[in-house]
């Protein structure tokens, strides 16, 4: 019986890690699709903390989603969020942490800029009401390349290496 209980616990742990990965991938895909309601639905309904470098910290999902709608949900913004190298650690029956690498690329056709940025996500997850949520997410930028695109299509590096303090290069 003990072996059966151990096997059941191991299967549950594998399923939990897979569900957390699906949650993060769903969040990243929703960001690219400008699907603010799905972004919102990935974050814990009460008390989610969003702390992305270059932005003020948000203490709830609705405040974050309002800024997301304003900045990212415009027709001139084309985003790509690629999360990789997930390191998920179950810290309790209903809690977990995760570290992810992010490659972020955005094109602003109105401002004629292209940005490539590397980040590290440090996340916390919580299971409530039978499902996993992102309860805390924070990023630290690791690389930054902002290019200006001329009318002739030529690119010029505007910022290389250390990112400015403004969100995504201002």
Q: Who's near 90: CB < 8 A, 6+ residues apart?
A: 13, 16, 17, 96
| CATH classification at residue 48 | 3.10.450.50
Give the per-residue pLDDT at 170. 39
Give the per-residue pLDDT at 155. 87
Counted domains in the chain: 1
Give the per-residue pLDDT at 166. 54
Tell the residue number behind the tokens 């990935």, with chain if given: 42
Give the per-residue pLDDT at 164. 63
Give the per-residue pLDDT at 35. 98
Helices (DSSP H) in the chain: which residue ranges? 2-33, 36-42, 61-72
Q: Is 166 in a helix, a strand, or coil?
A: coil
pTM for the full predicted model:
0.91
Per-residue tens of pLDDT for the chain, all 170 residues: 899 889 888 999 999 999 999 999 999 999 999 999 999 999 999 999 999 998 889 999 999 999 999 999 999 999 999 999 999 999 999 999 999 999 999 999 999 999 999 999 999 999 999 999 999 999 999 999 999 999 998 888 888 886 666 555 43
Tokens read off for 17 = 């890690």
Give the per-residue pLDDT at 102. 97
Give the per-residue pLDDT at 167. 57
Q: Who's near 26: CB < 8 A, 6+ residues apart?
A: 38, 42
Q: Domain limits at 28?
A: 2-169
Give the per-residue pLDDT at 160. 80
CB of 45 closer than 8 Å to CB of 61: yes
β-pairing, 131-149 with 155-160? antiparallel
Give the per-residue pLDDT at 162. 67
């Amino acid at each position: 019986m003990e072996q059966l209980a151990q096997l059941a616990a191991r299967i549950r742990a594998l399923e939990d890690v897979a569900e957390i990965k699906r949650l993060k991938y769903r969040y990243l895909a929703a960001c690219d699709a400008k699907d603010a309601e799905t972004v919102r639905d990935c974050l814990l309904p009460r008390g989610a903390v969003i702390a992305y470098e270059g932005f003020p910290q948000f203490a709830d999902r609705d405040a974050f989603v309002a800024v997301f709608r304003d900045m990212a949900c415009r027709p001139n913004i084309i985003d790509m969020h690629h999360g990789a190298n997930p390191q998920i650690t179950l810290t309790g029956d209903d809690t977990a942490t995760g570290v992810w690498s992010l490659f972020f690329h955005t094109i602003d056709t109105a401002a004629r800029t292209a940005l490539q940025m590397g980040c590290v996500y440090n996340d916390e997850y919580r299971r409530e009401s039978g499902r996993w949520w992102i309860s805390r997410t924070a990023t630290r930028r690791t690389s930054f390349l902002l290019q200006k695109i001329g009318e002739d299509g030529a690119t010029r590096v505007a910022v290389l290496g250390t990112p400015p303090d403004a969100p995504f290069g201002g």
